[in-house]
Amino acid sequence: MSSLPLGYSIDGEYEKAVEKGFEDFPRAPVDKPFSYGTAGFRMRADLLDYVMLTVGVLASLRSRKLMSNTIGIMITASHNPAEDNGVKLVDPSGDMLEETWEHWATAFANAWEPAKLKAAYINCIEECKIDQRKEAHVIIARDTRPSGDRLVKALIAGLEATGTKYTDYGYATTPQLHYLVRAINTQRQAQPYGEPSEEGYYKKLGSAFTTVMQYANPNGALTVDCANGIGAPKLKELIKYLPEDKLQINIVNDRIEQADLLNEKCGADFVKTQQRGPQDFVQTAKPGERWCSFDGDADRIIYYFNDDEKVFRLLDGDRIATLAASFIGDLVRKAGLEDEVKLAVVQTAYANGASTRYIEQTLKLKVECTATGVKHLHHVAARYDIGVYFEANGHGTVLFHPRALKAIRKHEPQSPAQLEALDTLKALTDLINQTVGDALSDMLLVEAVLAHKEWTVKEWNLTYKDLPNKLAKVNVADRSSYRTAHGSAERQLEHPTGLQAKIDDIVKKYQDGRCFVRASGTEDAVRVYGEAAEIFDVEDMVTRVIESISIQQMVLVGNTSFRDQRQQEEHEMGLGLERGAQEPPVGNG
């Protein structure tokens, strides 16, 4: 046993190796600091090697801090183009990395030289009281991006430098990695989450789906657009574990060997933001055919179809949330558990107002609104007996609190109908990935609910009518100057000063108008979301709000970058804005 103070490795071997690791993977020159955000680190893959090394180092500390439990590392850039990549950490429960540790990830990634990385490392050990003599365990997985191979090497260098035991699971979807982490860490508990292997994941989903479907008839074919990503081979594998006679799945966009096709004019993000289907859909889909799209790492899913007039209809995350909440709510009632088990739905400000109204007024369920980013929704949903959460873009899941699981397990059915409801409910707790939104699991959930309700996509779409809406993006030089007010669920800007009053003035002119502006957490842009009773009103309102941001932007930029009044005027004219529309300058904050 070392005679060093608690926290240090024998002879400082890890500290030295961390310092040395920096020399092998020097930090690429970048124009702004890295930041561990909503989706971990995400950027052009050629800038990421050093970041990977530091993530490996951090994961080892996180594992040592948490009683040597296994930490997950996922290498993916989700729906971004193929040349990007990214990395995120998964905590032992299968949740995302605890928020209080994000600043360590940022600090490590921004250490400019070997001595600084070593200092940040020692700082973390001291502040978090980490005993390095404890074992560290990590598992790794990645999506299909070509840069993944190289980046794994940098990551492993960080793990080896710190004496971490690791297993590389190769290719997996992000939710599969979350599943594996939880399954590994609960192996020796009374209620293990599942077999800790990829096969265990398929077996769990397959057998739960078989149980849920024993009370329902097949409901026609589903076509799945896999975004030319990791979802394709994993869905093909999953199909082997599903009851053949209950669901027919056709797969499109499964060309993972052609890296540049990843997310290219296909996938959940493309469909949601462009409000149109991928090419195969446009060319082949008949009215009423049921389609869905995954994103690049298969943690998001969006459904859609063409109606009889060939109008494209999107069934997004809000629709999946309402479908799941209504079905699970009915099961809870039918099972006789409505007094014990309460349900709530968690959304963000991007949820369509019509969905919120439908949940509150028709389904009579509680709705909570949180900040954007799954981790915010997840934490709020986890407080409820059953918390259904989805972002409008199709990322979400349903969480069953241990007290709800216990109530479901212990309940004695009083009739065959109660037994059926209870059986189905129990199977749903296994079918639904409890760690994170999961396109494969969510797809089976939607398919099961539609089959039980004997609904086509048209009937699903009829439950409520979406308010016409638009999500736009304005690229800005410094998104950090756009800040929303605390407690406003990101619906009110408090900075730049005066902009919110301008937006309020615009919005009040439109029937059922709602519009808000917030800085993206993942891109150098601000997002503008608007909805109103009529589509032409939405267009008009969003255009005006964008104009007011562009003017604001010029004011902000004008204070710092324009050489003179003339250059600023030329810039404005280039944007086609009228001089008279300009606001008096407000400070650049």
Ligand X SMILES: CC(=O)N[C@H]1[C@@H](OP(=O)(O)O)O[C@H](CO)[C@@H](O)[C@@H]1O
Contact residues for ligand X (CB under 6 A)? 38-39, 78, 350, 372-374, 391, 393, 395, 520-523, 527
Question: Residue 299 binds what, of Mg ion, ligand X, none (CB under 5 to 8 Å, by partner type)?
Answer: Mg ion
Cα(502)–Cα(544) distance, integer angstroms: 10
Question: Residue 397 binds what, of Mg ion, ligand X, none (CB under 5 to 8 Å, by partner type)?
Answer: none
Cα(524)–Cα(15) distance, integer angstroms: 35
The residue among 240 and 486 lying less far from ligand X, judged by its C-beta, is 486
Please pick, among 60, 78, 293, 481, the residue that the annotation labels catalytic: 78
Minimum separation from the CB atom of position 295 to ligand X (A): 8
Burial-class residue 192 by CB neighbours within 10 Å (0-12, 13-18, 19+).
middle
Q: Count residues binding Mg ion (CB under 5 A).
A: 4
Question: Residue 297 binds what, of Mg ion, ligand X, none (CB under 5 to 8 Å, by partner type)?
Answer: Mg ion
The residue among 446 and 467 lying less far from Mg ion, judged by its C-beta, is 446
Minimum separation from the CB atom of position 300 to ligand X (A): 8
Cα(552)–Cα(555) distance, integer angstroms: 5
Query: Which positions from 69 through 128 interact with Mg ion, judged by CB under 5 A?
Result: 78
Say if residue 491 carries a ligand binding annotation.
no
Say if residue 300 carries a ligand binding annotation.
no
Q: And the tokens for 574? A: 């280039």
155: nearest Cα among 75, 214, 263, 265: 75
Q: Is 78 a catalytic residue?
A: yes
Question: Residue 295 binds what, of Mg ion, ligand X, none (CB under 5 to 8 Å, by partner type)?
Answer: Mg ion
DSSP assigned state of 1? -
Say if residue 208 carries a ligand binding annotation.
no
Torsion of CA 256, 257, 258, 264, to 10 degrees: 10
Say if residue 393 carries a ligand binding annotation.
yes
Say if residue 299 carries a ligand binding annotation.
yes
Question: Residue 488 binds what, of Mg ion, ligand X, none (CB under 5 to 8 Å, by partner type)?
Answer: none
Say if residue 391 carries a ligand binding annotation.
yes
Minimum separation from the CB atom of position 73 to ligand X (A): 17
The residue among 78 and 228 lying less far from Mg ion, judged by its C-beta, is 78
Q: And the tokens for 125? A: 């050990």
Say if residue 392 carries a ligand binding annotation.
yes
Give the residue, chosen from 225, 299, 391, 547, that forms a contact with Mg ion under the rule CB under 5 A.
299
Minimum separation from the CB atom of position 142 to ligand X (A): 17
Amino acid in position 359: I
Q: Residue 4: count other Cβ atoms within 10 Å of its Cβ.
A: 13
The residue among 197 and 522 lying less far from ligand X, judged by its C-beta, is 522
Minimum separation from the CB atom of position 518 to ligand X (A): 7
Say if residue 451 carries a ligand binding annotation.
no
Minimum separation from the CB atom of position 246 to ligand X (A): 32
- Spatial contact of 367 and 467, defined as CB atoms under 8 Å apart: no
Say if residue 95 carries a ligand binding annotation.
no
295 binds Mg ion (CB under 5 A): yes
The residue among 120 and 345 lying less far from ligand X, judged by its C-beta, is 345
The residue among 182 and 272 lying less far from Mg ion, judged by its C-beta, is 272
Question: Residue 522 binds what, of Mg ion, ligand X, none (CB under 5 to 8 Å, by partner type)?
Answer: ligand X
Question: Residue 228 binds what, of ligand X, Mg ion, none (CB under 5 to 8 Å, by partner type)?
Answer: none
Minimum separation from the CB atom of position 346 to ligand X (A): 13
442 binds Mg ion (CB under 5 A): no
- Spatial contact of 517 and 493, defined as CB atoms under 8 Å apart: yes
Cα(244)–Cα(211) distance, integer angstroms: 13
Q: Using CB positions, name the residue nearest to ligand X.
A: 521
| Helices 198-213 + 439-453 axis angle, to 10 | 10
Q: Residue 415: count other Cβ atoms within 10 Å of its Cβ.
A: 10
Core vs surface per residue 504-540: b (16+ CB within 10 A) or e? eebbeebeebbbbbbbbeeeeebbbbbbbeeeebbeb
Q: And the tokens for 77? A: 């850039």
Name 346's bridge partners.
Answer: 368, 389
HEC string for 383-451: CCCEEEEECCCCCEEEEECHHHHHHHHHCCCCCHHHHHHHHHHHHHHHHCCCCCCCHHHHHHHHHHHHH
Q: And the tokens for 145? A: 């991006």
CA-CA-CA-CA torsion sign (441, 443, 447, 450): positive
Measured between alpha carbons, how far is residue 550 from residues 27, 515, 556 in Å?
35, 16, 10
Say if residue 182 carries a ligand binding annotation.
no
Measured between alpha carbons, how far is residue 481 from residues 20, 201, 433 in Å?
38, 44, 37
447 binds Mg ion (CB under 5 A): no
Q: Using CB positions, name the residue nearest to Mg ion.
A: 78
The residue among 15 and 84 lying less far from Mg ion, judged by its C-beta, is 84
Place of tokens 């990791």: 230
The residue among 460 and 516 lying less far from ligand X, judged by its C-beta, is 516
The residue among 64 and 300 lying less far from ligand X, judged by its C-beta, is 300
Cα(162)–Cα(10) distance, integer angstroms: 11
Minimum separation from the CB atom of position 145 to Mg ion (A): 12
Question: Residue 569 binds what, of ligand X, Mg ion, none (CB under 5 to 8 Å, by partner type)?
Answer: none
Minimum separation from the CB atom of position 361 to Mg ion (A): 32
Measured between alpha carbons, how far is residue 182 from residues 178, 390, 444 in Å?
6, 21, 21
Minimum separation from the CB atom of position 399 to Mg ion (A): 19
Question: Residue 92 binds what, of Mg ion, ligand X, none (CB under 5 to 8 Å, by partner type)?
Answer: none
Say if residue 520 carries a ligand binding annotation.
yes
Q: Which helix (H) or strand (E) holds 526?
A: strand 525-531
The residue among 439 and 555 lying less far from Mg ion, judged by its C-beta, is 439
Say if residue 424 carries a ligand binding annotation.
no
* Residues designated catalytic: 78
Site of interaction with Mg ion (CB under 5 A):
78, 295, 297, 299
**Residues annotated within a binding site:** 78, 295, 297, 299, 391-393, 518-522, 527
**Residues annotated within a binding site for Mg(2+):** 78, 295, 297, 299
**Residues annotated within a binding site for substrate:** 391-393, 518-522, 527
